[in-house]
Amino acid sequence: MAEQVKMEEIDRISDLHDSILIHILSFLSTKEAIKTSVLSTRWRYLFDLLPNIDFDLEEDLCRKNIKSYSTDVIENYMCSVDKMLLFCNTTNVNKFGFKCWIRMIVDRGVKHLDLSTSVLPSSTLPIFTCKTLVSLKLGKYFVLNVPKDVHLPNLKTLHLHSVGFLNDDSVKGLFSGCPHLEDMVTRKCDLGKIRNFHISHHLLKTLTIRYSYNSFQCWLWINAPNLTSLEYYDRLVAGYSMENLQSLTKAVINISACKTFRADATTIFKGICDVPSLVLSDTSLELLLRCEPLPVFANLIRLDLPCHLRFRYSNPLQKGLETLLSSLPALEKLEFYQEVLCSLPEEVPSCLLHKLKTIKITNFTDEKYCIGKAKYILKNGGVLEKLIIVTASHISVGKKWISKTLFASARESKPCFILII
């Protein structure tokens, strides 16, 4: 009898090899497999070796006899999935499945969806025919294969993060299927599989493009008659087409530094030359100054040049802000690092004589050439109301001398207020 009891206490299953136990666990749902970790220390981390992870909301709720999918039910399920995934530290996941919840929220009339996944082929997502979606944010690391029947009639906001496009038709189909799109952001998207990134939309108001990958052979086309804001942070691509941007009120052009300027940026600046407010990086300013002829920004009221010391030493043409000012007849507000004003023009720009009201100079020093720039502005600023000087970080004792020198300088505009920071 004692021998029989001893035989019954032996756990023969736990003595099996890991590969056999993992095979047994593979027949269970992921949730059930995780629950086996409480059986004994032998089973505690076995589920961590599962190559397939699968969560099926509909199946799990049916087991619990829950027939209605309220928002609270879905949120509670998502929280439980998050907790269980914290226990899954495996590095050899072969397949990850997360079924039904996207379809359920689409069927329930979701308006705002933020979906980050790299495990589902985009063509299988039911979101592309969701009539209630107003805001859609997609990422990361999957290829956007837009189906032909895409129809998002109420979508106004579209953000794409680290998403690739399967082909040119996917791009065109996406825009044609979103008739009311107003705001679009692309960040770190892969353009390697397309030749034309064609952004054409009659209602688009704001467009931001940040740091695309594999874009050197791609053309960027922008045709948006109602676009009011354009932010472009990227390298130069193969070519550009900028059309119907007459509604643009603000543009930020931040082209990344490159060893050679093989592509021509003239089309960019000609396309935005009617904008009232413009921000240019140092490389962008260099590219603009290379344009022949230099575009005239007839309506530009505000210009911000947040350029750094690099500009002073890397610009082989030795042309700077003084060259650009001649093409800015309506300029009223100007902010710039003092390095970008390479020389003092003999012919005073008309905007300085008649239009400029506020000027802010950053990284100002107590060196003679720098003081001369401020004196030139004060002497010729016919309607200047405010001159703001932001001194360089290493300037401390020199501030008083700068103030004394500039306050004693001749001013064309007597009411001009000078502020030294």
Measured CA to CA in angstroms, residue 333 lies from 112, 229, 336, 371 at distances of 39, 19, 10, 20
pLDDT digits (tens, 9 = 90+) for 126-141: 788 889 999 999 887 7
- DSSP H or E stretch at residue 86: helix 71-87
Residues 6+ apart with CB under 8 A from 221: 196, 197, 198, 199, 200, 240, 241, 243
pTM of the shown model: 0.77
What's the pLDDT at 316?
Answer: 46
What's the pLDDT at 285?
Answer: 92
In the predicted structure, residue 64 carries a pLDDT above the cut 90: no
Mean pLDDT, residues 161-172 taken together: 90
**DSSP notation for 384-400:** --EEEEEE-TT-STHHH
In the predicted structure, residue 94 carries a pLDDT above the cut 60: no
- Assess if residue 367 is contained within a domain: yes
pLDDT digits (tens, 9 = 90+) for 201-247: 999 999 999 999 888 889 999 999 999 999 999 998 989 999 999 99
What's the pLDDT at 415?
Answer: 93
- Assess if residue 410 is contained within a domain: yes
- Assess if residue 337 is contained within a domain: yes
Q: Look at residues 204, 202, 151 and name the one whose alpha carbon lies nearest to residue 173.
A: 151
**Does a cis peptide bond (omega within 30 degrees of 0) precede residue 293?**
yes
Local confidence band at 117 (pLDDT 50, 70, 90 cut-offs): low
What residues make up the domain containing 382? 324-420
Helices (H), 245-293: 266-271, 282-289
Pairing of strands 277-280, 302-305: parallel
- Assess if residue 156 is contained within a domain: no
> Is residue 25 packed enough to be buried (19+ CB in 10 Å), middle (13-18) or exposed (0-12)?
buried
Return phi, psi of residue 146, to 5°.
Answer: -75, 125
What's the pLDDT at 28?
Answer: 79
Query: Tokens standing for 172?
Result: 């065109």
- DSSP H or E stretch at residue 34: helix 30-35
Mean pLDDT, residues 351-370 taken together: 94
- Assess if residue 295 is contained within a domain: no
**DSSP notation for 145-201:** ---TT---TT--EEEEESEEESSHHHHHHHHHT-TT--EEEEES-B-TT-SEEEEE-
- Assess if residue 392 is contained within a domain: yes
What's the pLDDT at 416?
Answer: 95
Q: 172-204: buried (b, 16+ CB within 10 Å) or exposed (e) per residue?
A: ebbbebbeebbbbbbbebbbeebebbbbbbeeb
Average pLDDT along the chain: 83
Q: Look at residues 336, 370, 377 and name the one whose alpha carbon lies nearest to residue 353.
A: 377
Residues 6+ apart with CB under 8 A from 331: 300, 301, 302, 303, 325, 351, 355, 356
- Assess if residue 371 is contained within a domain: yes
> Is residue 236 packed enough to be buried (19+ CB in 10 Å), middle (13-18) or exposed (0-12)?
buried
CA atoms lying within 13 Å on the CB side of residue 125: 24
- Assess if residue 93 is contained within a domain: no
Q: Which of 19-23, 85-89, 183-187 shows the lowest mean pLDDT across its residues?
A: 85-89
Return phi, psi of residue 151, to 5°.
Answer: -155, 105
Rounded CA Rg of the chain: 31
* Domains in the chain, number: 1
Local confidence band at 376 (pLDDT 50, 70, 90 cut-offs): very high
